Structure 1
Amino acid sequence: MNAPDGTAEQIAALLDVLVRRQRRAAKTDLGDGVTHGRVRALRTLDHADRPVRLSELATLLDIVPRSATSLVDDLEAAGLVARRPDPNDRRATLVALTPAGTTLLTTIRRNRRDAMVTLLDRLTTSEQTTLHDLLTRLAAD
């Protein structure tokens, strides 16, 4: 059964509102320099669970290598990532989170979780379970 176009558009708009709220909440008290792109890069490095080459980071972020270089320049200047030579290829550079980058991600995740808890408090436990189940189904590949 297909959703009517109007319903699909309304759901998309509501999801956009919630995503913007989450992003805003995640950055609470962190300053203007914490952009979505920078947070995405930090999360990607965290999920990699190892230092990655700049070219690999660009691929993971689906951006051109030059943009990845600029992004890493900004993150390095903020003390959130560090570059080091790749021991297996002296032409390549590895990028890894610094302790400050890890701390920032922890704060962002806590802020995001707290904001979601506040939103979900509007729903009953049963409604929260239903929402979780529906979102899980929609997010499945």
Structure 2
Amino acid sequence: MTMPDADGPLAEQLLRLTRRVHRIQKRHLQACGVGITPAQSRLLRTLAHYDAPPRMADLAERLEVVPRAVTTLVDALEESGKVRRVPDPTNRRVIRIELTDDGRSTLRELHRARRSAAEEILAPLTDEQRKVLGGLLDTLVDWGTGRGC
């Protein structure tokens, strides 16, 4: 199997597509009027996957960022009323993060914006092309799981 040159056309296409996806998602996010950044959106979506409110360290690990980055995101989301800090019921020194009703409402808006962005990005593809792309993306994502630098 031939590996593409890291500086070759395929790598450039992937980078161009990534930038395009980010631009389109950002535009749709702004259009939905929730007033949050893509990073804040990612934190809200991640938070929604927990059964019980997680600790900031749990969020940092899942998001693969340093804890300080999560603190900054939570501060902004708490200020806007989308999350709140709550004490852990078993250890008062531990603070957990939970979604508010406004945060859940924002997640619904974000979901609509992301679907709309995905529809725009994938519009030129047939159903068969989408299926093939999905399989290729699964391969790339799964292959990178657990690998180091």
2:147 maps to what in 1? none
Please identify which structure carries the higher strand content: 1
Within 5 A, what are the aligned runs for 1:26-37?
26-31=28-33, 33-37=35-39
Percent of counterpart pairs with the same letter? 37
Q: What do you get for the CA RMSD once the two structures are aligned?
A: 2.2
- Give the aligned length: 141
2:90 maps to what in 1? 88
Q: Kindly tell me: are residues 57 and 138 of structure 1, through their superposed partners in 2, closer, same or farther at Cα, counting changes over 3 Å?
A: closer
Residue 55 of structure 1 and its aligned partner are, at CA, apart by: 2.9
Residue 26 of structure 1 and its aligned partner are, at CA, apart by: 4.0
- Give the alignment partner of residue 112 of structure 2, picking from 110, 113, 118: 110
| Counterparts of 1:63 and 1:133, CA distance in 2 | 27
TM-score by length of 2: 0.79
1:39 maps to what in 2? 41
| Counterparts of 1:63 and 1:120, CA distance in 2 | 29
Deviation sequence 1:76-124 (CA, Å, 0-9, x none): 1101001111111011111101121111122112111122223322122
1:11 is aligned with what amino acid? Q
Residue 128 of structure 1 and its aligned partner are, at CA, apart by: 1.9
Q: Kindly tell me: are residues 115 and 55 of structure 1, through their superposed partners in 2, closer, same or farther at Cα, counting changes over 3 Å?
A: closer
5+ residue gaps in structure 2? 144-149
| Counterparts of 1:126 and 1:61, CA distance in 2 | 32
1:37 is aligned with what amino acid? A
